[in-house]
Structure formats: structure tokens, C-alpha cells
Structure 1
Amino acid sequence: MTSPNVKKSWAKLVIVISMIKEFGQDDPRRVIHSFKVGLALVLIYILHHFRPTFYGFGDNIIWAVLTVVIVLELSVGATLGKGFNRMLATGLAGGLGVASNKIATLCGDKGKVVMTSIFVFVIAERVTFMRFSPQLKARYDYGMIIFILTFCLISLSDETGNELLEIAQERLLTIIIGSCIAIMVCIFICPVWIGEDLHRKIAGNIEKLADFLEGFGDEYFNNSENTEAENDKQFLHRYKRVLSSKSMEESMAVLARWEPRHGQFRFRHPWKQYLKIGNLARLCAYKIEALSVYLNNPKTPYEFRSIIQELCTKISLESGKALKESSLMIKKMYKSSSPNSHVSNAKSAVESLKSLLRTNPWEGADNHFEIIPAATVASLLIDIVICVEKICEGVDELASLANFVPYELLHRGIVQPISDSDGSVHVVTVAE
């Protein structure tokens, strides 16, 4: 019979396997990345045993292994950023470390201790202070850490003269080899472009806002007593993911700047514009968050809400359509004036709503406190239209900066020539 301990062990093993399977299915790219790391390390192992060319590296080949493990990230942008930082920082720190060591050696044994201490203190203090700069920290923070580490290792080394220079050269070369292998494996085997992820994320965030606005009118004005299952109304809650996406978008934009040209994304693709659109989308999401409070608990009798129902429904619906079209523009990377037409319709409804509110349509109501929620909803929808207009303007600016294809060219068809039996060809002209 199987002992209880063995059964518990098997049960734990099954749980772990199921967790690993679920984790891999959530994002299959993680499984591929694990394979790529293993492949890169195998390539380093092969190079290590390729004695005719790489015999001189000796134990320094371990720096190539460490470089692959540290540099090879899930996305191409992260790998290129770390690889470039590591190679540049190692080269600069190595050269500066060898130079400072030679200068310190010229001062004698006692003078060497003093001079080395001064060099280490000044360099480490200056570079650490530079890490506080937001511009440098965003792109070169890892490189500055490697610079401090490499400089201190070389400066404090007991080796001197040509031996120290030879060690620095070998380590730099092995780090370059490790970085190049990591970069090539990352790019040529199922590459993950962080810029494409940012592109899809911004488009998806705008679509989440559009889904809420398109469904708000029916939910607020017609379905206050709707018993429909909550799972069928997830579109009313997805906008909340937009509220906490700022830090992820900023880190993705920084890494995307390292990526080379791929697909429709140029080397200097306007990634900063994505951050601008993301910030505008979050501002709109905060307005929607305030609006959703009244969606969950209207507090206003239907006869009061019905007064502004038509105009508010039109505002929310047109705003949602404008955001939906803007999301498609980003996804498909084309230019279109369709969002602007929906924004114009929403603004026209806003002016009509303002005129209606000036006439005090609830005059004569017994309880004025019951009117406040409806008036607040109208006010929030007016503010949301302003946010939607700014988002559409940001998307138009992105389309211009990134040279998106005009909608007409994107959907232009190909007309095949028509030939008669005698071989003559007729030209078909399509009038727009």
C-alpha cells in the first residue's frame, strides 16, 4: 500500500505541474524564452570547447555565461538595452580602470593606496549621483551599475601593467561575445517586440473606454432594475485596468526605443506619443470611474433621468464610437477622419444638453436632492467628451508622426484586366 506521505508528495507534484502548465498557457512566449536561454548557454558551451580560437579565454569565459543569463530578456528591446549597456559600460570602465591603476602605480606602494582610494571614491560617487537623473536612469541605469562594478574590480586588482590590460581585454571580449549571442538568439528565434506590445496595449486601453461609454446609456437609463448576470457586463469594469497601467507603459516605451526597425515600426518610431495618448486615456478613465458610481446606484427617479436620457445617451454613444474608431486606427495603423465626425456629433449633443440644463428642466420637483445625481451625470459626460476629443487628437498626431497609411489606400482593391478571346485587353476605370 502507498504511504500517506507518498500520496501527499504526488498530490503536491500534480499541483505544481498544473500551476506550471497554467503559467505557460497564460503566455506561451515564456516557454519559448526559457528555450532560448538554454540554447544561448549551449552555444557558449560550444564556443568554450572550440579550443583553436577560444583557448586563450581560459576561466574568463564565465563572464560570457553570466552575460547571457543577465542580458537575455523576454523582449528584444530589453535584451538590446542591457547588452548595449553592458558592453559600453565594461569597455569604458575597463579602460578607465587600467589607466587609474597605472597612475596609482607611479606613486609608489603607499601612494598607490591613497590614489586608488581617491579614484574609486570619486568615480563611484559621481556615477551614483548620475543615476538619480530621470533621463539617464530610464535608459542607462543598468550600464552605470556595471560601470561602477567593473571599475572597482579592475582598480582594486592586484595585477599590474600588461597583465591587468590583458585581463581587461579578455573580459571585455567575452562579454561582447555573450551579449552578441544573447541578442542574436533573441532576435532570430521567435522575437518578442516590446514596441508591438505597447502598440496593442494603448489600442486596447482605448477600446476598453469605448466599450463602457457605448453601453453606459442603456445601463443607466433603461436597466436600473436589470437582473442580467454580472458576468455579461464585464465591459463595464474593464476600464479599471487603464487606471494602473502608467508605470508599465513608461517602461515599455523606454525599452521600445532600443529596438531596430521591424514591420511597420521604424527605428525612431514616436513612442513618446503613445505615452501621451496613454495619459489622456487614464484621465478619461478617472472621469468614467466617477461616472460608474451613479451607474451602480442611480439614486434618481426614472422620470428625472428621462429628461436628459436622449442627449446623454447620444453623447456616450458617439464618444464610444469615436474611441472605437481611434482604437482601430492604432491597431490597423491607418489614417481616418471618422473619429472626428463622431466627436462633432458628441459636441453637438453637448451644446444641446447645456441649453437644456440652462432652462432648469427639473423645476417644480419636490426633492431637489434627487436631481443632483442626474445633473452630475450630465456634467461628467460633458467632461468626458473633452477627454475623448483630446484622445482623438493625440491619435491623429500619432498617425502623422508614424506615417500611417490613409484609409482609402489601405482598402483600395486590385482590378484584374479583362481579355477577349482574340487577346485584346479592356481597361476598366473605377471612379471614386
Structure 2
Amino acid sequence: MRILQGILLLLILFTNPVCQAGDWPQILGPYRNAHAADETIAASWPAGGPELKWQRPVGSGFAGVAVFQNTLVLFHRVGDQEIVEALNAVTGEPIWKQSAPVSYRGTFNPNDGPIAVPLIHNNWVYTYGITGRLQCLELKTGKVVWSRDTHKEFQVSDGYFGVGSTPIIVEEKLLVNVGGKRKNAGVVAFSLDKGFTLWQALQDDASYSSPTSAFRHGRFYAIFITRLHLTGLDPKNGNVLFQFPFGKRGPTVNGADPVVIGNNIFATASYGVGGFWGQIEQIGTREIWRSEKPMSSQYTTPIEYDGKLIGIDGRQDIGTARLICFDPQTRKVEWAENDFGYATLLEADNKLIIMKTDGTLVLAEASLDAYKELASEQIFHSTTRALPALSNGLLYVRDSKTLKCLKLGSDAPVTPEKTTTN
């Protein structure tokens, strides 16, 4: 494993749930940085694209799936029900289903389904619905352990697109980008087992960015991008450890997650916001640069690779988007694939797995020298926004109608035992 990435993964491991090889239990994978653990990916695909292992219909929503020990958790909306389902990750066979009524209607965007990726921790599943319903379910049965109506309790408005930030677990607390600025509840910490409020902090609205975490200078940091700030919080009590302005008022959103590289942090957004590069110091932090160049990403979180960043510069809805690799220290662009189109991406086995919003799946080398495409295939014929997930050589991708399981690895995972449905 590359030295810098290895150090980063080791540090992040201390602040996230323990995972086994092949798990993808939360947004952007086991370490929340879009790097898969111990995956072997074929360097080419057969004619017609990757083998389709199974597929099934899904409802509305942009939430990608989570996978833990070959149990897949799907979060979507069918009719007037927001539904959490557990499936056998290898076969797609249903295990259990849990549903709750929802009445949200999209305004700026017609989507009315959940956006936040489920979070699996030990024997529990946490979901954050589009109207702010935060709940904990038993992983084996789907039984509701607890639930909270965060928007009602903390006086939160729906925002432009409803809820879109996946919670994070740091130091055995569930930390959520709630956005209750009138209640000093921009970020709220909940107990894992009971859902009790442990602390609340920040007078800020929520964003569509999901938080990350880091262990630096002998302490833990929970790092959030809210509506208007990039903030580091002490997960013990919610105290602000650092804060920078980030974002703009008006019809804008912060969608990409913060990226920690060593003692540095990167954030990016479109809408005239651009990129931010700062340093986390033992006493305070400092801004190094902020600029719309070289990366202003609407919602794709870039991937760190050997100290460089690979990601999308541009927007899905307006203009063009390019795939670039650049050095955040110097802002030098190492390579750029212009007019690539908007996409989300992950890294496994030194390869980039790229899901374009036009439904095209691309495999490329994770190279710092040039864009080197290995394979490409049209998987969907519709706009595809949900984040892909990779587990034991199987890639899970979905649009607003279909969830597909594609074989990218050479070995099939072990089929888990069937669990009684709820």
C-alpha cells in the first residue's frame, strides 16, 4: 500500500467502525474516502460490459447502498413510504423490509426519495430520511430500535432538496449535520443505542456534504461542511476546534465531503465557491489557499491518491465537467480529461471505478501521469446520481428505477445464511 494512503487509512480507522475486507458500510466505503480495502479488480471487461449478477426494481432517491458482511442495505421510497431493505448482497434475495410514511415533495428537483447513504455499525443500521427522520434499526431483523424527527424537534426547514448528509460515528456517538440553526443545532450528537441527544452545536443550516473524521495532534476531529462553514468539532462535547467560511448564500449547495490528507484538509463546491486548502495545526488551523481553480465540484468528493487529488471539476446541470488530477499543495494540474461529463468515483486495486451521471460506467488506471481508460459500458439510460458501492468484487449501482449488481472481481464472495424476514 502506498505510504501516504496507508498512514491516512490507519489514522481514520481509529475514528470509524471496525470493518472486514470487502465491507462497504457507509458513504464512500470503509474509510469514508472512496478507497476500497483489499479488493482485486479485473483490468478489462468482457464484451457487453461487466457480468450482471442480479438486478431489481427500486423506488425514488439518490442514496447509494451500504454493505456489511454480505448484507446489503437499500434505502429508497416507494409511493408514500420511505423504505429500508436488507438484501443478500450476493443474490439480491430479500431478508427484511422496514417502512415509514413520508410526504415530501421535491421543489427545485423532482426527486422525492432519500439521498443519504445508510450507515451500518456493528449490529445496527442508521438511516437519515429526506424529511429528517433519523432512525436506528437492527441489522439482522430490521426492527426499529429508536427514531427521531430531527426537523420537527430542531425546527429545520426542508432546504433545496431535503436531507442529503449521511451521519458519522466518532467516539461512539452518532454525529449528524442536522441544520437546526435556530436551536444551536447545526450539528447534533446522538447516543448510538437510545438516540438520546448528547450535545448540539453551531448556528448554521445543514449542507449536502457528509462529515468525515481524523485523529491529529493526539485528539479526534469531527469535520463538517455546513451551509456556510468548514468546521472541526470535538466529538466529546461539540466544542469548535476550527472554523472557516465556506459556501455562499442564495441558490447554492455544498455537496462534496471534506478530504483529509495528512495534516491538510480540502473542501470543494461549485456556484462560485471553488476549492479550499488548509492545514490542521496543534493550536488552531490556517488557510493556505482558496480558489475556483483547479477544482470546483458540484457534489463529487475527490479521491486522494499519493498526495494528489482526482475528481470532477464542474457541474452536472450547467456547462461541462472534466475529470482532473491535481496537486493540492501547488494547484498544478497533472492531467485533465476535458468534456468528460459529471460522475462519481471510487478507487480499488489501483483502478478508478467511475459512474457517470449519463449512465456510463468507466474503468481507468489510478494514474498520476495521464488519464488511462481501460473499459467503458453504458449501464443505465437515465440520469444516475447515486454513489456506487464495491464489496467483495461486486459493484452496486442504481438509478431511480433499478439496482444492479455487477461482477468486477474474479472471485465470488461467500453467500451469507438467510435471516428470517421481519
Please give the range of the TM-score, normalised by the shorter of the 2 chains. under 0.3
User: Which protein shows a greater Rg?
Assistant: 1
TM-score, scaled relative to structure 2 = 0.19
Of Structure 1 and Structure 2, the greater helix share is in 1
Structure whose residues are more often strand by fraction: 2
